[in-house]
């Protein structure tokens, strides 16, 4: 996702991609200016095919300002449409448009959209009432106990494992602590059921791993794990059993419900761990959709779409547009 984007533009992008399932929807597309002025940005580009097979390109420009945009912005968009050779332009403003802007846009055939209109009580999203979203975090609080199975002189035995003790590779190089080892396997566990069933509650988690190895890098060689003894021996650690205390933190996030070009939607944002999540729901003749834009602590962005059949998130993708890819 380009750094030039913002939440308002992202909402428009996701909703158009929800509705235009057969079109290529590109956010912050960079197109060549026919005057030779270089590449110019279009907030959202929709590329599709007409019935006669001709490619149709629609540019969507977004503005999230407190004041209504006037004819100046319309004139800029008219110029952009001509210079980027776009078939149609749509202007989306969160605050509406001045009368002059409306008249100017109508003259040039530009569609004006104001998404923040109230949702009718009997409309698709009316059933939400006071819509809200709840984000949940699993907060690890303490490591209650850890035991492991080691091989000593060919025999297997179970020993307690102190949380701060180090684990080693076969060469005696420290890999991490026992507590960090438990965390590695806990990060890979499917804890959705725990989070779903215990909002606001304290829980005990049990992590049991058998016949395991570690990898320094994804796809790297497996590393056997050893625990050190007081007499300097390294014993192969094959299994461990850990019990942790945790709590499920639930935070409601209010959703703003509105409508964009006939598509009812709701949007809200909040934090899950160190990540910020922007969630967009839409309900249209194309069906119900939910997309999530996640921004991590380093500013890296990833887009996801909910798969209702598996109750998981999968990467949000749009069909590739070779022409746009070449230009960007």
Does residue 106 carry a pLDDT above 70?
A: yes
Query: Mean pLDDT score of the chain, rounded to an integer?
Result: 85
- What domains can you pick out in the chain, each with its CATH number? 7-131+255-327 (3.40.1350.10), 135-250 (no CATH)
Name the 3-class secondary structure at 150.
strand
pLDDT tens-digit readout, 44-78: 999 988 778 888 999 999 998 889 999 999 999 99
Q: In angstroms, rounded to a whole number, what is the distance separating the alpha carbons of residues 60 and 77?
A: 10
pLDDT reported for residue 128: 44
pLDDT reported for residue 317: 73
Q: In angstroms, rounded to a whole number, what is the distance separating the alpha carbons of residues 42 and 29?
A: 5
pLDDT reported for residue 119: 53
Long-range contacts of 98-107 (CB under 8 A, 24+ apart): 98/68, 98/69, 98/70, 98/71, 100/70, 100/71, 101/68, 101/69, 101/70, 101/71, 101/73, 101/74, 103/71, 104/71, 104/74, 104/75, 105/74
Does residue 239 carry a pLDDT above 50?
A: yes
Closest CA relative to residue 42, chosen from 319, 328, 320: 328
Average pLDDT over residues 13-19: 88
pLDDT reported for residue 129: 46
State the pLDDT confidence band at 284, using cuts at 50, 70 and 90.
confident
Strands (E), the chain: 24-32, 39-49, 55-63, 88-93, 111-113, 132-152, 155-160, 166-168, 174-177, 202-210, 214-215, 222-223, 226-228, 234-254, 256-260, 263-272, 275-284, 287-295, 301-307, 312-315
pLDDT reported for residue 322: 42
Torsion angle, CA of 120/124/126/130, rounded to 10 degrees? -130
- The region of weakest confidence among 203-207, 232-236, 322-326 is 322-326
pLDDT reported for residue 122: 53
State the pLDDT confidence band at 2, using cuts at 50, 70 and 90.
very low
Average pLDDT over residues 294-301: 90
């Amino acid at each position: 996702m380009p750094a030039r984007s913002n939440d308002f533009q992202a909402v428009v992008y996701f909703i158009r991609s929800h509705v235009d399932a057969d079109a290529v929807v590109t956010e912050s597309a960079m197109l060549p200016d026919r005057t030779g002025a270089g590449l110019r940005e279009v907030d959202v580009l929709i590329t599709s095919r007409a019935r006669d097979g001709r490619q149709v390109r629609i540019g969507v420009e977004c503005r999230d300002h407190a004041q209504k945009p006037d004819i100046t912005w319309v004139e800029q968009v008219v110029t952009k449409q001509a210079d980027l050779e776009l078939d149609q332009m749509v202007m989306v403003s969160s605050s509406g448009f001045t009368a002059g802007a409306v008249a100017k846009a109508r003259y040039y055939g530009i569609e004006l959209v104001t998404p923040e209109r109230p949702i009718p009580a009997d409309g698709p999203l009316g059933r939400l009432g006071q819509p809200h979203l709840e984000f949940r975090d699993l907060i690890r609080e303490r490591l209650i106990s850890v035991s492991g199975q080691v091989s000593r002189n060919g025999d297997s035995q179970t020993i307690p494992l102190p949380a701060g003790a180090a684990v080693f590779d076969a060469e005696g190089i420290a890999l991490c602590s026992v507590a960090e080892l438990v965390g590695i396997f806990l990060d890979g566990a499917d804890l959705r059921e725990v989070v779903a069933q215990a909002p606001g509650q304290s829980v005990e988690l049990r992590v049991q791993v058998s016949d395991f190895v570690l990898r320094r890098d994804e796809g790297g060689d497996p590393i056997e794990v050893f625990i050190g003894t007081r007499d300097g021996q390294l014993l192969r650690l094959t299994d461990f059993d850990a019990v942790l205390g945790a709590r499920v933190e639930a935070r409601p996030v209010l959703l703003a419900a509105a409508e964009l070009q006939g598509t009812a939607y709701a949007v809200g944002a909040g934090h899950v761990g160190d990540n910020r999540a922007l969630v967009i729901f839409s309900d249209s003749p194309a069906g119900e959709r939910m997309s999530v834009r996640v921004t991590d602590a380093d500013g890296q962005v990833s887009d996801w779409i909910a798969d209702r059949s598996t109750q998981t998130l999968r990467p949000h993708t749009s069909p590739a547009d070779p022409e746009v890819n070449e230009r960007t």
